[in-house]
Amino acid sequence: MQCAEWLRIHAYFDGEGDVIGAGNIERHLERCAECSALLEDLNNVRTALRLDLTFASIPSALRARIMRSLDEESGVKSTRLSWVGRNTWRPRPFWQCALSGGGGAAIAASIAFFLLAPRLSNPMLDELVSAHVRSLMPDHLIDVVSTDQHTVKPWFAGHADVSPEVADFAPQGYRLIGGRADYFDHQRAAVVVYQHGSHLINVFSWAATKDRLPQGTTRNGYHLAFWKVGNLAYCAVSDTAWDELLGLQRLLQNLGVHEIGSH
């Protein structure tokens, strides 16, 4: 037999206390072993779901198609790249405005990349470059906007499977601008976003496997630098110069070594 309160336990679990009277339910839970077991069970299933379910973002090509159809609908003369040009005056978050005037051009370039680029041979490089380019699309770069490492790092706890090194290196020219979770290599990778001059650098991090990381390489104009600290694999991706990318890598590596040493 099922306890008659089972439905109300679900509602209580979903934070719908005002619908059902949370106080009564809590008193009931103290007495009813069946319902407290149900509540625990609901918690376990939710935890498993959060780990298991995919949280997709809309593919950028589809987003572009939708923007074009909105253009046509609102009577904007539509040429193939017209919506790209309008990016220069579409409302957007401060970080995009903060970038140099080449923003529109960068986005145009990234679309050209999607249209023209052949599939890269190593799937990991493929995924990383694709994720980097995707992040340059409007509204895709940052989930948590902050220049404060103490805001960005805890944010990852609920949104990614790993907790990477985060620090603001503004004095060294690498300004922390935020973080993002990205699905990569079958896990929710943490991505820390830095700005260096007019360039953006995405630093991906994920739980390292036994496989060796690829060598640093350049794909379609984007440099990819790989390194490991402890059991975390990192990859910095950017169109900035190699030396500058490696500069950030050194800063982050030193940070990791320092932290491991101090604990």
Would you tell me which residues interact with other proteins (CB under 8 A)? 6-7, 10-11, 14-16, 19, 41-42, 45-46, 48-50, 52-63, 65-66, 69-70, 73-74, 76, 86, 89-91, 114, 119, 126-127, 130, 134, 139, 182-184, 186
Axis-axis angle for helices 103-116, 123-135 (nearest 10): 150
- Residue closer to other proteins by CB (options 57, 254) is 57
CB nearer to other proteins: pick between 39 and 251: 39
CB within 8 Å of 253: residues ≥ 6 apart? 227, 229
Q: Which strands, in side-by-side order, build the sheet including 222-229?
A: 144-145, 175-184, 187-196, 199-207, 232-238, 222-229, 217-219
- Side-chain-side CA neighbours of 253 within 13 Å: the count stands at 14
User: In the complex with other proteins, which residue's Cβ is closer, 133 or 200?
Assistant: 133
Beta bridge partners of 183: 188
91: helix, coil or strand? coil
Q: How far is the CB of 148 from other proteins (least distance, A)?
A: 23
Shortest distance, CB of residue 62 to other proteins, whole angstroms?
5
Q: Give the shortest CB-59-to-other proteins separation in angstroms.
A: 5
Residue with smaller CB distance to other proteins, 134 or 196: 134
Nearer to other proteins, 113 or 227 (CB): 113
In whole angstroms, the minimum distance from the beta carbon of 246 to other proteins comes to: 26
The secondary element (H helix, E strand) that includes residue 48 is helix 33-52
Q: How far is the CB of 224 from other proteins (least distance, A)?
A: 14
Q: Which residue has the tokens 């050194």?
A: 250
Alpha helices in 117-217 (DSSP H): 123-135, 149-159
Any residues with CB less than 8 A from the CB of 164 and at least 6 apart, and which?
156, 190, 192, 203, 205, 232, 234
Which C-beta is closer to other proteins: that of 27 or that of 65?
A: 65
Nearer to other proteins, 92 or 175 (CB): 92
CB of 105 to other proteins, least distance (A): 20
Q: How far is the CB of 55 from other proteins (least distance, A)?
A: 7
Residues sharing a CB contact under 8 Å with residue 13, sequence separation 6 or more, in sequence order: 39, 42, 43
* Closest CA relative to residue 83, chosen from 65, 104, 68: 68
